[in-house]
Amino acid sequence: MNTLEKLLTEESPYSLNKNIKRKLLSTELADLTTYHKQNCKLYSNIVDSFDGSVLEQFPLPVRLFKLHRLASITEDNIFKVLTSSGTTSQVVSQIILDKETAAMQTKVLVKIMQSYIGKQRLPMLIIDHPNVIKDRTSFSARGAGILGLSNFGRDHTYALTEDMELNLDAINAFTEQYEGQPILIFGFTFMVWQYFIQALKEKGVKLDLTGSVLIHSGGWKKLVDQAVDNETFKSITRDYTGITHIHNFYGMVEQVGSIFVECEKGYLHTPNFADVKIIDPFDLSEKSYGEDGLIQVESIIPKSYPGHILLTEDTGTIIGEDDCECGRKGKYFLVHGRLAKAEVRGCSDTHETK
């Protein structure tokens, strides 16, 4: 049993204290760097062009995946190619997965999400329209996200029509069927706000979804432009649905396994399998806790491609480690948004208002 498989047997995905985790991740990440150098010529050339002393912690900028097809496996071992979100005019990242990496990604996602929603599959309301998983132009961003999270629910019901209007008949039938029971709700952040919460507000409709769980993710840019922060989002959502269990999560297609879910205290958490660092964008030095900088994400899952240490274009701050009031170990942090002049990304940003 390898290290990752052992971690998957842990009762909690947030069980390791910082000393054990740092030693474990340092070894695993160094081994992955060596592996990818041996199996991905382009990655080897990139790393060798820099000082060898930074090998263990050498981060690839996420933008490189838009420019190059980076793979550490042969073509005949490719099981799936993931593509990043983006508008039709943008070049997307291509992330190469083999069966082993894809399977590990699924297992880790299950382990993490069960910490927040439990092991029972709940009735699921999806804030989107059913054709989104059939539309190949949006499948990479929204469809893939919906399919991934749908594994945690049952009796999947879509809350919107193809015209992005509330399907109140479907919503009311669903809520009446599961009245008094917790349900799982998933959608991309902007779409939940614009086409669900704001639509309910405009129609003067309030739903009783008390005890349910809302999971959402995606770019916040459009909400920030509307002066909607995380607390406002939660407050208005609670007013119109009664939902108090609301969890945002931060992640990216470029690094499978880096799923950082917001805890009950409002912080994003690093699981046993992944970590974050905050990096100075000017000299690439590591920032201290409490200081703002670029987010570097690390994961021991990517083996089919060199995505184990990536420098994002997002800014954030690490608040602390192992002492969050929610009880989960690991670093807990905040994401502030995109670096100035960075390309707009995020699953919810792929839907353009007509």
Q: Residue 51's pLDDT is what?
A: 58
Q: Residue 224's pLDDT is what?
A: 65
The pairs formed by 276-281 with CB atoms below 8 angstroms and a separation of 24 or more are: 276/316, 276/318, 276/331, 276/333, 277/318, 278/316, 278/317, 278/318, 278/333, 279/59, 279/311, 281/339
> Residue 322: pLDDT above 90?
yes
Other C-beta atoms closer than 10 Å to the C-beta of 102 total 16
Q: Residue 85's pLDDT is what?
A: 61
Q: What separation in angstroms does the CA of 307 have from each of 41, 50, 142, 153? A: 14, 17, 22, 29
- CA 290 from centre of chain: 22
Closest CA to 316 of 295, 345, 332: 295
Q: Residue 53's pLDDT is what?
A: 46
Query: For residues 237 and 11, which has the higher predicted lDDT (pLDDT)?
Result: 237
For the chain, which domains are there? Answer: 3-97+251-338 (2.30.38.10), 107-250 (3.40.50)
Q: Residue 310's pLDDT is what?
A: 95
- Model confidence pLDDT, tens digit, residues 195-249: 999 999 999 999 999 999 999 987 666 666 676 788 899 999 999 999 999 999 9
Distance CA 346, CA 189 (A): 10
C-beta of residue 73 within 8 angstroms of C-beta of residue 304:
yes
- Model confidence pLDDT, tens digit, residues 90-135: 688 889 999 999 899 888 998 999 999 998 999 999 999 988 777 5
Distance CA 297, CA 305 (A): 15
Closest CA to 328 of 269, 278, 261: 269
> Residue 350: pLDDT above 50?
no
- Model confidence pLDDT, tens digit, residues 53-64: 444 568 899 999
Other C-beta atoms closer than 10 Å to the C-beta of 17 total 11
* Measured CA angle at 212 (ends 206, 213), to 5 deg: 115
> Residue 309: pLDDT above 50?
yes
> Residue 28: pLDDT above 60?
yes
pLDDT band at 2 (very low <50, low <70, confident <90, very high): confident
Q: Residue 163's pLDDT is what?
A: 92
> Residue 84: pLDDT above 80?
no
Q: Quick one: average pLDDT of 298-305?
A: 95
Q: 184 burial class (0-12, 13-18, 19+ CB within 10 angstroms)?
A: buried
Give me the chain's average pLDDT, please: 87
Q: What are phi and psi of 77, to 5 degrees?
A: -100, 0
Q: Residue 342's pLDDT is what?
A: 54
pTM for this structure? 0.88
Q: Quick one: average pLDDT of 71-82?
A: 92
> Residue 261: pLDDT above 70?
yes
